Structure 1
Amino acid sequence: MTTSYDNPPHLAPRGTVVVLPGRGEDAAVYERLGLRLAFDAYRVRVLDDPTRDPEAATAAVRDLLTEDAPGPHVLLGSDTGALFAALLVAERTVPAAGLVLAGLPAGSAPADAPDWEAELEARTTCPTHRNRLAEDPEFRRGALWTAPPEGWADRATPSLVDVPVLGVHGADDVVSTVDDARNWFARLPHGELVSLAGTAHDALNNQTHRTAAALVVRFLERLRLGADLPAVERVEVS
């Protein structure tokens, strides 16, 4: 199932963003982000958690990133969705001009699954998002504490990801620490990692979600100018 958010009818699309959710999530979790990117004229397509059916997810990404889809083509993944996006590009399975990886699971999850309240605490600092997760019938509680599918981490080899990458990570992430993420991103040919203060694991859906979305839009705008990500602003006085 694909959820769509389109650019306003009076604006030409500025690119196509395919969103891959993380463990336990569904497309509805990314409504807020989808609407915001669409408002800035990006065509957004949100899939379900790819761990449920990796082959179907791969086929869906291929179908969405055809030559007819407005470019640049970007995969945006959260948690294991980020890992899946990275392996698709590392293995050149799908064409993409860039990646946005949020909350990449670069370390090991806790051995024992915490209770629901502890999961919410680990996921997000945003009361609105917590309520959304609690009321979402498609959301799978506890899935965050399961290991990523076997082989995904090995297949998502950073040195083979040859497109520009933006990493967005919670500074207070206890599921995948900033140190773990930093080590992974340091091995990318073309990557930058931004940590957000006061932010837990679901880096796109915390109280800092507006800052996260702004970082994504800025990355997309730079990518439109070229794969070397030219600067779009300059500080004249500081």
Structure 2
Amino acid sequence: MALTHPHTTISWREPDKLPLRGTLIVLPGRGETPHVYERFGRRLAADSYRVHAVTAPSDDADRTREQVLGLLAEADPSTPRVLVGSDAGAAYAAYLTALPADTANLANGTVAGLVLAGLPANARTTTGGDSAPGWNDELDLRTACGTHRTKISEAGVRPGDLFGDLPAEWLDPGVPQRITVPLLGIHGANDEVSPVDAARRWYAGAPRAELVTITEGRHDALNDQTHRTVAATVVLFLERLRLGGELAPIATAEQQYSTTAPPVGHDV
């Protein structure tokens, strides 16, 4: 299988004759190539969202920014344009969106929302250093999905890069406060690379953030064994975003009680 060059943009398009519902730009994580997001891209494209995966910002942040700005400029402005980041890609997507308009060129409604998965809450990775795990241990930290383990092993993901430190400015404490667009966070409850408690504190600082934790989920939240549930969660967010920035609910779950039995947890 021919490997995708890490600086090549890959795209998955909506089905023919179906109207475009929005554009997603995926920023990969440390050591990853765009090809890693094929399964995610195909699934979201099937729901009529055009998906592009760009260079990992931990490889070349300037190139990533150039690709993102180019794709945003080309995207249909009548539908939402959303940045989706995983790991370092999540940190960089948030950082770009928080920059002043005259610096990042992402203001004036260009980016309608963010989806951040496995956000590193600290610039320094606690699992790294001289005792960085071997490849099999790294796979365990990334995912419990056998298919995804095979995918990242075949797609040119570089062992050990996951434990490299990130630029401190990407995770400046003021970043979440400066993000004004709606934000969906997806985080594995068992993420040992970026523990969920630290991530919760980061999202608590964003004015319009929703955080979804994935039971028993690991670091590669978009591609873990619960990837179908995660993709559905992303689609629900996108569909609400299409209705406007207030994210009005579309479907509301209601608790139904039996007329013959008391609610669970209530005294008889």
2:111 aligns with one of 88, 96, 101: 96
The answer to whether the aligner puts 1:20 opposite 2:27 as a matched pair is yes
1:154–1:57 distance in 2 versus 1, CA, 3 Å: same
What do the CA deviations read for 1:125-168 (whole angstroms, capped 9, x no partner)? 000000111222x2111100101134221287100000000000
Match of 1:10 in 2: 17
Identity of aligned residues (%): 50
Aligned length: 237
1:78 is matched by which residue type in structure 2?
A: S
1:44–1:68 distance in 2 versus 1, CA, 3 Å: closer
The answer to whether the aligner puts 1:125 opposite 2:135 as a matched pair is no
Rg (Cα) greater in structure: 2
Is the 8 Å Cα contact of residues 22 and 49 (structure 2) preserved in structure 1?
A: yes
2:89 is matched by which residue type in structure 1?
A: G
What do the CA deviations read for 1:13-57 (whole angstroms, capped 9, x no partner)? 000000000001111100000000000000111112111111111
Instruction: Determine helix, strand or coil for the equivalent of 1:45.
Output: strand
Comparing 144-153 and 18-27, the one that deviates more? 144-153
1:202–1:103 distance in 2 versus 1, CA, 3 Å: same
1:87 aligns with one of 64, 70, 95: 95
Instruction: Determine helix, strand or coil for the equivalent of 1:234.
Output: coil
Q: How does 1:24-103 map to 2 (within 5 A)?
A: 24-66=31-73, 68-70=75-77, 71-91=79-99, 92=101, 93=104, 94=106, 95-103=110-118
1:82–1:156 distance in 2 versus 1, CA, 3 Å: farther
Match of 1:161 in 2: 179
Is the 8 Å Cα contact of residues 55 and 63 (structure 2) preserved in structure 1?
A: no
Counterpart CA distance in 2 for 1:196 and 1:230 is: 23
Comparing 68-77 and 33-42, the one that deviates more? 68-77
Is the 8 Å Cα contact of residues 23 and 75 (structure 2) preserved in structure 1?
A: no
2:158 is matched by which residue type in structure 1?
A: R
Counterpart CA distance in 2 for 1:216 and 1:74 is: 11
What do the CA deviations read for 1:97-147 (whole angstroms, capped 9, x no partner)? 0000000000342233111111000000000000111222x2111100101
- State the 1:234 CA deviation: 1.9
Is the 8 Å Cα contact of residues 13 and 49 (structure 2) preserved in structure 1?
A: yes
Comparing 143-152 and 213-222, the one that deviates more? 143-152
TM-score by length of 1: 0.96
Match of 2:233 in 1: 215
Structure 1: where are the runs of 5+ without partners? none
What do the CA deviations read for 1:50-71 (whole angstroms, capped 9, x no partner)? 1111111111111111265252
2:223 is matched by which residue type in structure 1?
A: N
CA RMSD in angstroms comes to 1.4
- State the 1:236 CA deviation: 4.0
2:224 is matched by which residue type in structure 1?
A: N
Is the 8 Å Cα contact of residues 186 and 221 (structure 2) preserved in structure 1?
A: yes
Comparing 219-228 and 58-67, the one that deviates more? 58-67
Counterpart CA distance in 2 for 1:87 and 1:68 is: 21
Counterpart CA distance in 1 for 2:48 and 2:120 is: 30
Match of 1:105 in 2: 120
Instruction: Determine helix, strand or coil for the equivalent of 2:245.
Output: coil
1:87 is matched by which residue type in structure 2?
A: Y
Comparing 153-162 and 48-57, the one that deviates more? 153-162
Instruction: Determine helix, strand or coil for the equivalent of 2:52.
Output: strand
Match of 1:116 in 2: 135
